Structure 1
Amino acid sequence: MAPLHIDTDYLVARLLELLGTPSPSGYTDAVVRLVSAELERLGLEVELTRRGAIRARRPGAAARPARAVVAHLDTLGAQVKRLKENGRLELVPIGTWSARFAAGARCTLFSERGSYRGTILPLKASGHIFNEEVDTQPTGWPFVELRVDAWARSPGELEGLGVAVGDIVAIDPQPELLPEGFVVSRHLDDKAGVAVMLAALEALRREEVTTPVDSFWLFSIAEEVGVGASALLTPEIASMVAVDNGTVGPGQASEESGVTIAMADQTGPFDWHLTRKLVELCREHAIDCQKDVFGWYRSDSASAIEAGADVRTALVTFGLDSSHGWERAHLHALRSLAELLTTYLASPVEIARDASEMAPPEGFTRQPMREAPHPADPGSPPPHRCGGP
């Protein structure tokens, strides 16, 4: 089946709604409720784990071997480590991100009494006081502090506000959508991926597509701290495609346009057969794509495999510049990724044996071992890049 039309207005609306709902790891209840309501509106059966990870099922023509798509709802953030003598707060990061990008951020602190606005500042924030020391102080979490926008000049006054060690801090996304199609914001990782999944689901529902097997739509809540999709899979799920960001920068092949298909991350190669199916779908349907290998990177797929799930995994991504910092993506990549998901979920199942968790060797897959034909061989197909000739 050809890729479905993706409603980019719907995609953008869902993205902005997601970005407007704070959800650092450990504080995700609000975004879970938001996404659950949208999934139910789109006709899915929704279940939540005890902590709030989402598993939603869209019935297909058969129950097995089911397919899953996953993205994470949680974002980077910070947590209060210490109430300082000057009435400010020492922070530690939630997830892996540099204090270089925290300095100057507006944010919301969630205390048991209620939320407070604030700003993360360098320890030496005023040139009028510290002169050139403002530019020479080190970078790191010990060298920034949170100034709460309330009367607090001592630990006692902070405690009087209800502020305590362990309180969660959500960083403002400050999204900006540009006429050229760029989206600039914090937390596009992975709220853009969630919006892509919802847009693909909306297209499948609008076009009344019946997929060959059940599809599960999974949303994890602790990927940024390494947990990911470790408790979401069911025995009937044979393959899982993670949707996340592709790191754009020196030494990487990821682009801010088209789909970037990850061949491996720091945990090793993704499933050979599933990954190549996605590549072939891009080639067959002229979806722009490129392949990449990620170094300091892990996704929901890694968490599932490490938790013991015997499931084929792949990672498809939207190119993201300055990941875990001031992030930028393009609507072309988001739309292309949603198109690929619709095509994949509607495509036939090639590995029928995957319907069983254990089965005899008959029907097991084969990876090519033959010698490649010489390039001068007239019978050889012309070389082509991922996504087209």
Structure 2
Amino acid sequence: MPLNIDTDYLKQRLKRVLEIPSPSSYTDQITRDCAEELQRLGVDFELTRRGAVRARLPGKKEMPARAIVAHLDTLGAQVKALKSNGRLQVVPIGHWSARFAEGARCTIYTDHKALRGGILPLKASGHTFNEEVDTQPTGWDYVELRVDEKASNADDLRELGIDIGDIIAIDPQPEFLDSGFIVSRHLDDKAGVAVLFAALKALCKCDTQPEVDTYFIFTVSEEVGQGASSVLMPHVASMITIDNGTTAPGQNSAEFGVTIAMADQTGPFDWHLTRKLVKLCQQHGIDYQKDVFRYYRSDSASALDAGADIRTALLTFGIDASHGYERIHTHALTSLARLLVAYTLSPVEISRDAKDIGGLKGFTRQP
């Protein structure tokens, strides 16, 4: 089975998607870019109304179809108010700490142009506020966006075209290091997107056809909890989500190899599918570890919440400082891509999953 992954291509795709701002609800451009890359690879795809991308690799059989999912959208912010001092009050898009927003460079997208700025604490000057710069509280009520234009009051901001609700994209500031480490904002989940493309490229060059139709899906609203709620085909029986795994005290995730999530805050993942993925790692010499996440949900959760009767699993690349200035390693990304290729080409073990509902015959057993 060919498990060779083009690492240069993987990093190239990651650099490309990091260059495209895509906070939730502002994802048209990244949808177009991904669709164009799928065309270049020769992979058929279709788009939902809001821009989720559903690419299809045809298999020997149509059912029970598989899906592999990553999300294109990232964290960001929105204009909450135009302040009398010529700065902007902001609120987050997605769940992230204002602690990580302090000092961030960003772009404000008005209806007609893009403006640059930076997010600062309300008391940003030590020469003025002395020790108060260290003792002021942390939170979104204690930061403001300084627009890099001449603006000393709210009217000046209006003249610039800024309005309440305008989208703010946070600069990723990526670094690709010779050590294999990659440091950037928004690696969640643009690294997952790059992994899907690397696996797709390997599969497109492979002479082996997948056992069943396999959909590679890119969602556009995971960071706000919607994700894969309305993008799956009815005949999809199992779905694997690719996202970040938190390397932090008390966690078993790692920045190397594949981290297989056994559960998150929504409960355990499918017993049979997770164990199949472990078995594939063992068969193909792919480094892996297991973990359980307590304050975490993903595209898998949104699909189940929407009522999809599917088996779900979560595969992750270990990430340090999740939802902040994040760090990952190339080894984890290539390991994930290898596992996705192995999974896509693996035989179906639960043939009964081809039917929405049935009798006891062929139903699974657990020891």
TM-score by length of 2: 0.99
CA–CA distance in 2 between the matches of 1:45 and 1:310? 25
Between the two proteins, the alignment pairs up a number of residues equal to 367
- Equivalent runs, 1:291-302 vs 2, <5 Å: 291-302=290-301
Q: Matches of 1:319 and 1:271 in 2, distance apart?
A: 21
**Mapped pair 1:48 → 2:47:** yes
1:364 lines up with 2:357 in the alignment: no
Native 8 Å contact 1:230 1:303 kept in 2 = yes
1:88, 1:145 within 8 Å by CA — same for their partners in 2? yes
Cα distance in 2, alignment partners of residues 59 and 137 from structure 1: 57
Return the offset for 1:209.
2.9
Asked if the contact 1:7–1:203 (Cα under 8 Å) also holds between the matched residues in 2, the reply is yes
Q: Which amino acid aligns with 2:54?
A: R
The whole-number CA distance in structure 2 between the counterparts of 1:20 and 1:135 is 33
Q: What is the rounded CA distance, in whole Å, between the counterparts of 2:174 and 2:204 in structure 1? A: 28
**CA–CA separation in structure 2 for the residues paired with 1:253 and 1:140:** 29
Which structure 1 residue ranges, 4+ long, deviate > 3 Å from structure 2? Answer: none
1:235 deviates by: 1.4
- How far did residue 208 of structure 1 move? 3.1
**Which ranges of structure 2 fall in alignment gaps of 5 or more residues?**
none
What residue number does 2:158 align with?
Answer: 159
Provide the C-alpha distance between the structure 2 equivalents of 1:135 and 1:355, rounded to a whole number of angstroms.
59
How much has 1:165 moved relative to structure 2? Answer: 0.3
Shifted more, 301-310 versus 358-367: the winner is 358-367
Asked which structure has the greater CA Rg, the reply is: 1
Structure 1 equivalent of residue 23 of structure 2: 24
Is residue 109 of structure 2 the alignment partner of residue 110 of structure 1? yes
Q: Does 1:72 align with 2:91?
A: no
Aligned to 1:206: 205
The CA deviation at 1:129 is 1.1
The 5-angstrom pairing of residues 152-231 of structure 1 reads 152-231=151-230
2: CA distance, partners of 1:278 / 1:92: 39
Q: Which amino acid counterpart does residue 31 of structure 1 have in structure 2?
A: I
How far did 1:131 drift?
A: 1.2
Secondary structure of the residue that 1:156 maps to in structure 2? Answer: helix
Q: Secondary structure at the match of 2:117?
A: strand
Cα deviation 1:86-112 (Å, max 9, x = unaligned): 000000000000000000000000001
Shift of 1:43: 1.6
Q: Distance in 1 between matches of 2:47 and 2:185?
A: 26
Q: Specify the alignment match of 2:324 in structure 1.
A: 325
Distance across 2 between alignment mates of 1:366 and 1:40: 42
Give the letter aligned to residue 91 of structure 2. Answer: V
Match of residue 58 from structure 2: 59
Match of 2:36 in 1: 37
User: How far apart are 1:337 and its partner, in Å?
Assistant: 0.4
The question of 1:267 aligning with 2:266 is answered yes
Cα distance in structure 1, aligned partners of 2:137 and 2:189? 30
**SS in structure 2 of the partner of residue 116 of structure 1:** strand
**Matched-pair contact (CA < 8 Å) for 1:113–1:161:** no
Contact 1:67–1:213, Cα closer than 8 Å, also in 2: yes
Amino acid at match of 1:218: I
Partner SS state of residue 344, structure 1: helix
Deviation at 1:278, TM superposition (A): 0.2
What do residues 189-232 of structure 1 show as CA deviations (whole Å, max 9, x unaligned)? 00000000000000011223311111101111010010010011
Tell me the alpha carbon deviations over residues 33-90 of structure 1, each in whole angstroms, 9 at most, x when there is no partner.
0011111221222111111111111111111111110000000000000000000000
Alignment partner, residue 257 of structure 1: 256
Question: What is the percentage of aligned positions where both structures have the same residue?
Answer: 66
Q: Secondary structure, in 3 states, of the residue corresponding to 1:6?
A: coil
SS in structure 1 of the partner of residue 259 of structure 2: strand
